[in-house]
Structure 1
Amino acid sequence: MAKRTTKLQQLAQTGPTPRAGRATETLCADFLNYLRGECHLAANSIDAYGRDMRRFVTWVGKRRLGDLKVGDLSSYMGELRTFDLAPASVARNIVAVRTFFKFLQLEGIVQDNPAELITTQKMWQRIPSVLTIRQVDAFLRSPKKTDKYWQRDVAMLEVLYATGCRASEVCTLRVRDLSLADRHLRCEGKGGKQRMVPIGSGAINAINRYCEMLRGELAAKVPHPPEELFLSRSGRALDRVQLWRLVKMYAQRVGIDSKISPHSLRHSFATHLLAGGADLRQVQEMLGHASIQTTQIYTHVEHSRLKKVHQQYHPRA
């Protein structure tokens, strides 16, 4: 580690030579390895940070990282807003740069951290897309027996809504994670954190039917069947892109807003629980949120729904 650090320090402290850009790329690669190995971030988070750092490396160019000042980084943050990025993406880019400079300090590559003075703008709390209970019922019935893999698709949609799991969590759900007799399943969320999630009769029946009628047929298409529960037509584990396309297709079939995504079912899960009287802490645990503040957005969603009801029906609204 000492030799590597010395070399990196030399690269960061030398003047702007043709290799300076390469030195920044090397540091960014080491930073991503640090996030992966030391911070244990999830693969999707690593990918997102990787995209952010590639954008930052391009902006830095041949400049030395140690020469960057607060004003320089502020200019970079201003440029981010010209890329038509969502507020959440801009905020994540800022966090990525701040974390990167903390890493450089830990490695002894820079002494001062100008990025710590850069703060994220407070983002508008965007109310997520939420389905009504009637829409959920229609959506869960949208796969028909004429669809080639309808058993899998019904089970997949049922699990998304019944558990509130993220799309990536449903795709990585393994058969051995199921405890249907005990009416729950084990879910691995962000950062490898595991949680137990209850599951209802509708989803249990759909999973059993899929496993009995279709999963074995799909698994037989590959020499070494994957452990994942939901398989594609080729016998491999269903990925997030395929799941997203299926959700879009079935939403369109029943005339639901085109903006609906797998995450909309997670939002609907949480909102309907709170509307039914569930405790916020319990919903937080089922969703796998590290902070209660993340879960609190669903109280705003429910409040917004109640306001609409009040405006629609109250004679003096």
Structure 2
Amino acid sequence: MEEFFTQFQSFVEYLQIEKNASPYTVKCYQSDLESFSGFLNQEGIHQLNDVNHQVVRLFLTNLYNQKLSRRSVSRKISSLRSFYKFMEREKQVETNPFIQITLPKTTKPIPGFLYMEELEKLFEVSDMTEPLGQRDQAILETLYGTGIRVSECQGIKLGDIDFTIGTIFIKGKGRKERYVPFGRYAEIALETYIQEGRQKLLEKSGIETDALFLNARGRTLTVRGIRLILNKMVDNAALTVHVHPHKLRHTFATHLLNEGADLRTVQELLGHDNLSSTQIYTHVTKDHLRDVYMKSHPRAND
């Protein structure tokens, strides 16, 4: 399968250079292609052109026998469809055997979000007299106040923040860039942390860095570090719900839509390419649903 690995590497370079795919996305494609390569080797198939509809059906059966979820199977088929599409473009194969394969239907769970009561408890746990408490509060206010991804939060530099107009320059997925606004609470938390806590943390390392968020040793905070900080804040707030950075993103979108923001605006704020990615947030909370009903239905009240 030496020929396959050469073609496979060409596809990876295409993802990295032409598609500006993130390292995580490239890793997922690599995993899916390696899985397919192993299957072909097991079946004694050594040429991509030898893969036909029957081989693909056999591959699907193999995946289901592994007890993979519909979501995992769907992702693998989608990856291989894209791979063969690229191979067709490069005239390395004659047809795309995955083009007629119907992706298994996957149920899209409603994203989890936090109610304001839960958020208030989180906002109250940080010790604002300590550098780490100031940092943690700034992280929380930034994540909820902007709806950015944890990786985007981790990558913020001091120069990316414009306090005069209240925006942060964000480098998103696929190297896409956007400006996101932030409100008064995030502004206060960020200014306090930058002017006080961050300076004290920086003194511990003695290393100059323009990274916004630092760890306890004064070095750049990692994505994993941000997750651990949130977990600790949840424990201190005695919350029974599981809170991860993406749940704050879900909460940001849900609260905006519940308060009347239009879907297109939320799409831009979240940095979604497609509106369909944003539509999963169009569910509403039970409280909001009841409030709208009580205010709007002619026979809801006396």
Structure 2 match to 1:167: 150
How big is the shift at 1:135? 0.8
Which of the residues 34, 49, 55 maps onto 2:29? 49
Aligned residue for 1:149, secondary structure, equals helix
Within the alignment, does 1:248 sit opposite 2:231 as a pair? yes
Structure 1 match to 2:45: 63
Within the alignment, does 1:119 sit opposite 2:102 as a pair? yes
Structure 2 match to 1:77: 60
Q: In 2, distance between residues paired with 1:193 and 1:185? A: 14
In 2 relative to 1, CA 79–50 (structure 1 residues): closer, same or farther, beyond 3 Å? Answer: same
After superposition, the C-alpha distances for 1:15-47 in whole angstroms (9 at most, x for unaligned) are xxxxx2x43333222211110011111233222
Structure 2 match to 1:154: 137
Q: In 2, distance between residues paired with 1:87 and 1:252? A: 34
Structure 2 match to 1:37: 17
Aligned residue for 1:116, secondary structure, equals coil
Q: In 2, distance between residues paired with 1:304 and 1:72? A: 48
Q: Is the contact made by 1:248 and 1:258 (CA closer than 8 Å) also made in structure 2?
A: no
Q: Is the contact made by 2:131 and 2:201 (CA closer than 8 Å) also made in structure 1?
A: no
Give the aligned CA root-mean-square deviation in angstroms: 2.8
Q: Which runs of 5+ in 1 are unaligned?
A: 1-19
How big is the shift at 1:151? 1.3
Structure 1 match to 2:159: 176
Q: In 1, distance between residues paired with 2:196 and 2:29? A: 41
Q: In 2, distance between residues paired with 1:24 and 1:224? A: 46
In 2 relative to 1, CA 115–135 (structure 1 residues): closer, same or farther, beyond 3 Å? Answer: same
After superposition, the C-alpha distances for 1:262-297 in whole angstroms (9 at most, x for unaligned) are 100000001101111111111111111111111111
Q: Is the contact made by 1:164 and 1:265 (CA closer than 8 Å) also made in structure 2?
A: yes
Structure 2 match to 1:192: 175
The letter for the 1-side match of 2:31 is R
Q: Which runs of 5+ in 2 are unaligned?
A: none
Q: How many residues are aligned here?
A: 294
The letter for the 2-side match of 1:41 is A
The letter for the 2-side match of 1:302 is V
Give the fraction of aligned pairs with identical amino acids, expressed as a percent.
32
Q: Is the contact made by 1:252 and 1:258 (CA closer than 8 Å) also made in structure 2?
A: no
TM-score, normalising length: structure 2: 0.86
Q: Which moved more, 1:285-294 or 1:163-172?
A: 285-294
The letter for the 2-side match of 1:48 is C
Structure 1 match to 2:89: 106
Q: Is the contact made by 2:131 and 2:200 (CA closer than 8 Å) also made in structure 1?
A: no
Q: Is the contact made by 1:31 and 1:103 (CA closer than 8 Å) also made in structure 2?
A: yes
In 2 relative to 1, CA 73–275 (structure 1 residues): closer, same or farther, beyond 3 Å? Answer: same
After superposition, the C-alpha distances for 1:86-119 in whole angstroms (9 at most, x for unaligned) are 5444332221111111122222221111011123
Q: In 2, distance between residues paired with 1:153 and 1:110? A: 53
